[in-house]
Chain A
């Protein structure tokens, strides 16, 4: 009986990966179990439905919301803020990351300031951005940019710095000049790092948008949650959270699709270096 026990742990993870439907079934089971537990606890009165809402109530509210035009206006605004924050943060992060990696003096001088800026909790910036940029979308975009920029920046910096010296020497021996090295070596190498941080970057862009809306706005998913909270509408709060969750899963799936297409050359799923 002892011998198989030794080899078992080795086989287990592989078998799990092999059977996707089984895994999905288990995942759905966890979800249902969670909702069931929630339902039982609130229905029996162990948890007060006023504070914890009920799963059926939340689902019903969410379903109803999905049929109204106003909901999609809010969703659209959050989406717009997320996309803007993500694009601006990514472009700036790539540009400045490249610049720092290729100019050692600049990176050496700015190094402590970049680290200091990254250490600032971004939430405290939200009121400042609102003050500077108003309550419209741009204060939320700024908050999202302040989050995504650093993730992309550090990854690009790392990506350019960590180009294999052998690949670099080989590329030079093949006759590449500075511009061609950038195009054929530095950029693809850095892009692989950017894409591996994409999930985190998109997530943070969304966090920036929602937190910004939550703290002061007139539209958006974060605003809806804040509003529901203001009137002790817990069903509304949980419904907002549910919508946000679905929203994130959809965006993440899109990112994965793009990643799989563009990083076909990568041996396996990439590792991410998070700066938080």
Chain B
């Protein structure tokens, strides 16, 4: 089966000579949930930007369902780490705008936006502007904004890192629920190993930057459906966590040493 997303020997060197990632390869199968974990500053976001087509790799290539990627990735939805909602649009307009610019008439787009707002638990908040919503509500709106376009690949860059732990676990469960209802390929970036294991089918480890590369892949064969809060207590989870952490720890220390040396 062709991979939904395939990064092959991707190297990214920025103007100024900084190489964020060097020779990284990753295949993501259709419907697979992959998490990329790594220490701070390891080029995780660069990795995702390459997959989205926002960043052209200096070397290597990106295949999307077997076709080489040129320009933006048309099959990908991207959920950013920081605020990406348009502050001048209400939640409903923010969710609907993707459909609108793709040619759906406004009334149809708004109706579907309402359906999505309901799905993410924001049906009463459609008329709110982003600044009138809490962090968790904004993340829900951003999730709806991304998923309403029905992308085959969803790229998520530490989407819940700014949320408090409780909200975060709620959002993670909601994400799993939405994902299991309609299996898309997900590339989920996080620095939180527990979050990665709880959500994913596979966890990929990036080495400390610069010149990050993939240093480990772990299959997560925990049963689904999962509850992210409960699964953390199970023996299988703890074993996986121990095994991956053993590898990750060294990289975290390396990354920390590099940043603190400055």
With beta carbons under 8 angstroms apart, the residue of B76, B82, B89, B131 that contacts A173 is B76
10 pairs from A and B in contact (CB 8 Å cutoff): A166-B83, A169-B54, A169-B78, A169-B84, A170-B78, A172-B54, A173-B52, A173-B76, A174-B145, A177-B101
With beta carbons under 8 angstroms apart, the residue of A173, A184, A264 that contacts B72 is A173
Q: For A175, what are the chain B residues with a Cβ–Cβ distance below 8 Å? A: 98, 101-102, 149
Q: Assess A173 versus B88: contact at CB under 8 Å? Given A265-B131, A267-B131.
A: no
Does A185 reach chain B (CB closer than 8 Å)?
Answer: yes
Q: How many A-B residue pairs have CB under 8 A?
A: 61
Does A176 reach chain B (CB closer than 8 Å)?
Answer: yes
| A175 to B77 Cα, complex, angstroms | 10
Of all chain B residues, the one with the shortest Cβ separation from A168 is: B84
Across the A-B interface, give the 5 residue pairs with the lowest CB-CB distance, nearest first: A170-B84, A174-B98, A188-B88, A267-B131, A265-B129
Do A166 and B149 touch (CB < 8 A)? no
CB distance from A183 to the nearest CB of B (A): 9
CB distance from B101 to the nearest CB of A (A): 5
Does B86 reach chain A (CB closer than 8 Å)?
Answer: yes
CB distance from B46 to the nearest CB of A (A): 13
Do A172 and B88 touch (CB < 8 A)? no
In the complex, per-residue mask of A207-247: 1 if CB is within 8 Å of any chain B CB, else 0: 00000000000000000000000000000000000000000
Do B86 and A173 touch (CB < 8 A)? no
Q: Assess A192 versus B88: contact at CB under 8 Å? Given A175-B98, A176-B101, A265-B131.
A: yes
Q: Please, how many residues of chain A have a CB less than 8 angstroms from a CB on the other chain?
A: 22
Q: Assess A184 versus B129: contact at CB under 8 Å? Given A173-B72, A265-B88.
A: no
| A170 to B143 Cα, complex, angstroms | 12
Do A184 and B54 touch (CB < 8 A)? no
In the complex, per-residue mask of A160-191: 1 if CB is within 8 Å of any chain B CB, else 0: 00001011011111111100100011001100
| A264 to B82 Cα, complex, angstroms | 22
Report which A residues bind B (CB closer than 8 A): 164, 166-167, 169-177, 180, 184-185, 188-189, 192, 264-267
Of all chain A residues, the one with the shortest Cβ separation from B98 is: A174
Do A265 and B98 touch (CB < 8 A)? no
Do A166 and B82 touch (CB < 8 A)? yes
In the complex, per-residue mask of B178-190: 1 if CB is within 8 Å of any chain A CB, else 0: 0000000000000
Does B87 reach chain A (CB closer than 8 Å)?
Answer: yes
Do A173 and B129 touch (CB < 8 A)? no
Q: Find the residue from A170, A185, A264 having the highest chain B CB count within 10 A.
A: A170
Do B77 and A173 touch (CB < 8 A)? yes
| A175 to B129 Cα, complex, angstroms | 22
Do B97 and A174 touch (CB < 8 A)? yes
| A226 to B98 Cα, complex, angstroms | 58
Do A167 and B84 touch (CB < 8 A)? yes
Do A174 and B149 touch (CB < 8 A)? yes
Of all chain B residues, the one with the shortest Cβ separation from A267 is: B131
Q: Find the residue from B82, B86, B98, B131 having the highest chain A CB count within 10 A.
A: B86
Of all chain B residues, the one with the shortest Cβ separation from A263 is: B88
| A166 to B89 Cα, complex, angstroms | 16
| A188 to B80 Cα, complex, angstroms | 21
12 extra A-B contacts, CB within 8 A, seeds A169-B84, A265-B87: A166-B82, A166-B83, A166-B84, A167-B86, A169-B78, A170-B80, A265-B88, A265-B89, A265-B129, A265-B130, A265-B131, A266-B87
In the complex, per-residue mask of B123-149: 1 if CB is within 8 Å of any chain A CB, else 0: 000000111000000000000010001
| A172 to B74 Cα, complex, angstroms | 10
Q: Assess A188 versus B86: contact at CB under 8 Å? Given A173-B76, A173-B78.
A: yes
In the complex, per-residue mask of B100-111: 1 if CB is within 8 Å of any chain A CB, else 0: 011000000000
Of all chain B residues, the one with the shortest Cβ separation from A171 is: B86
Do A184 and B131 touch (CB < 8 A)? no
Of all chain A residues, the one with the shortest Cβ separation from B90 is: A265
Do B88 and A180 touch (CB < 8 A)? no
| A189 to B87 Cα, complex, angstroms | 9
Q: For B88, what are the chain A residues with a Cβ–Cβ distance below 8 Å? A: 188-189, 192, 265
Q: For B129, what are the chain A residues with a Cβ–Cβ distance below 8 Å? A: 264-265
Do B76 and A184 touch (CB < 8 A)? no
| A265 to B87 Cα, complex, angstroms | 6
Q: Find the residue from A167, A171, A180, A265 having the highest chain B CB count within 10 A.
A: A265
Of all chain A residues, the one with the shortest Cβ separation from B142 is: A170
Q: For A185, what are the chain B residues with a Cβ–Cβ distance below 8 Å? A: 86
| A265 to B93 Cα, complex, angstroms | 12
Q: For A169, what are the chain B residues with a Cβ–Cβ distance below 8 Å? A: 54, 78, 80, 84
